[in-house]
Amino acid sequence: MQSEKIYYRADIIREKSADTPTQLEYVEFQGVRTTKYDALVKEIAELFKSQTLKELVVNCDLAARHLEYVGLFQKVIPIIDIAEANPNSYTVEFKVKEPRQFRLGANVSVANDGEASASCTADKASLFGRGEGLASAYTHGVRGNHMFNIGLTKPFLGWQRYANVGAYVYRGFSSHPWSNFDATDTGVSAELNWRSFGKLQHMIKWNGAWRQLEPEKGAAFAIREHAGHTLKSSIENVVAYDTRNSPNLTTKGMLARLTQEYAGVFGDVGFIRHQLDVQAAAGLPLGLVLSSGLCVNFVKPLRGRTLHLLDRAYLGGPANLRGFGHNAIGPRADDSYMGGMASWAWGVHLYRPLIPAHMLFAHAFAVVGSVHGVKHDASFFDVLRRFGDLPRTSVGVGVAVKIGEVARLELNYAVPIRYSTTDRVVPGFQFGVGVSFL
């Protein structure tokens, strides 16, 4: 029987018999081994409310995409069929592919500062059959530092629900050569993500981190003063509106994101951070893309607390103010950059796709920004008033290479136009790799 049937693409059926009254008899899943029954019921119950065939077709597609999104299945193909008993009754069959048992990986990487590391990863999607994701990684740095992170996420299942909770344990090591210190960060965090009004993304996150700052041999005394252990406990709230076609190198769409972080509930670090990121890109004639980005960061220490070096705002380098040293703008003690309590940067870019067009871009830019040193009694408006003082400016041209959706590679010839004598200026060719660019 089965082999005599002819299947059509959904859009053909939808056009031909859009308003046919429809009743869904049953839903069948093929390929399920470990996924739990109740999880599937939550996901597809809404299908039975479909009144017309058109609705059923659309809903089946939505259900299939959502099943993939929450991580229950790797691939889902819905097939609608006529039920034999009743002419207006239909059945739906989902052909599914469950995520692999375990995914193991290993890689060797070199970071922007030349630090090499080797890491291995182990991932598992839909761990207990309800979409729970487990991701873990262990990294061994060339300097003998150990890093790891383990994350567990769980989606809220249900018709068109885009929400999840996550919990993470991690240990990270970072080197800050611009300030002559190394930092080790060990912590736990928990986050809740959801969407409202369709496209507005929310995140609330609690983060408890034990941080150790170790000054290097040549560090300025002002850096030494921050040495040792601190405990940060912070609550972060992120609201974002994101329509970018590719977060890595946007050619269309916009992003507006507000990040607020309050530290000081617990622990010995106290500050409030407000960060605003705005990005927009649009196509121009001749295949050109005009893109612009603004990033404003303001960190205010709580009363009676000093603003720790690890919590400050830094600026400079190939990812934002090209033509300057990495995080090497603003106040300096000896040759260690001290960061500030506020920073802003604004850039205008012109991209022109080369060959291959989705990967390689010619790039011209003008960027401007500055860092405002730490003043413990300064209010937001004091800082805002002085934001215009000596804006660092640079212009340049270069090429940008998009490596998938993960990273971007840039080689630029940059000319710093306005700078302060304390800034580390890098005129000429500058190379940068990163995940987030202004």
Partner 1 sequence: MDRSFFTDLLNDELAMNVDDNWDDAALFGPYENEQALLYQYAECLSARAFLKMCNLPFKIEQRPNAEHMSPSGEVPFLKVGRLVVADYLPIVDLVAKKGVKLSDGLTDVEIGELHAHICLLEEVLKNAEMYISWMHEPTLRVVTKRRYGSVYPWPLSSILPSLKGRQVCNKLRSFGWADRTIEQVSNFRHSLNTPSFIFAAAGARRS
Rounded Cα distance, 49 and 296, in Å: 47
Tokens 């927009």 belong to: 280
Tokens for 224? 């030494």
Size of the site for partner 1 (CB under 8 A): 17
Name which of 228 and 287 has its Cβ closer to partner 1. Answer: 228
Among positions 361-390, residues that touch partner 1 (CB under 8 A) are none
Name which of 221 and 429 has its Cβ closer to partner 1. Answer: 221
Q: How far is the CB of 328 from partner 1 (least distance, A)?
A: 21
Q: How far is the CB of 216 from partner 1 (least distance, A)?
A: 10
Tokens for 415? 């000319």
Number of H helices, E strands in the chain: 5, 21
With beta carbons less than 8 A apart as the criterion, state whether 31 and 98 touch. yes
Tokens 């739990």 belong to: 36
DSSP state letters, 191-249: EEEEEETTTEEEEEEEEEEEEEEEE-TT--HHHHTT-EEEEEEEEEEEEEEE--S-SSS
Q: How far is the CB of 229 from partner 1 (least distance, A)?
A: 6
User: Does residue 48 touch partner 1 according to CB under 8 A?
Assistant: no
Distance linking the first and last C-alpha atoms of the chain: 59
Tokens for 202? 């929310």
Partner residues linked to 432 by β-bridges: 410
User: Does residue 268 touch partner 1 according to CB under 8 A?
Assistant: yes
Q: How far is the CB of 27 from partner 1 (least distance, A)?
A: 50
User: Does residue 265 touch partner 1 according to CB under 8 A?
Assistant: no
Q: How far is the CB of 267 from partner 1 (least distance, A)?
A: 5
Q: How far is the CB of 222 from partner 1 (least distance, A)?
A: 11
Among positions 186-245, residues that touch partner 1 (CB under 8 A) are 210, 213-215, 217, 221, 224-229, 231
Among 33-41, 145-153, 266-274, 421-429, the segment contacting partner 1 (CB under 8 A)? 266-274
Site string for partner 1, 316-355 (x = CB under 8 A): ------------------x---------------------
Tell me if the bond preceding 356 is cis, omega within 30° of 0.
Answer: yes
Contacting residues toward partner 1, per CB under 8 A: 210, 213-215, 217, 221, 224-229, 231, 266-268, 334
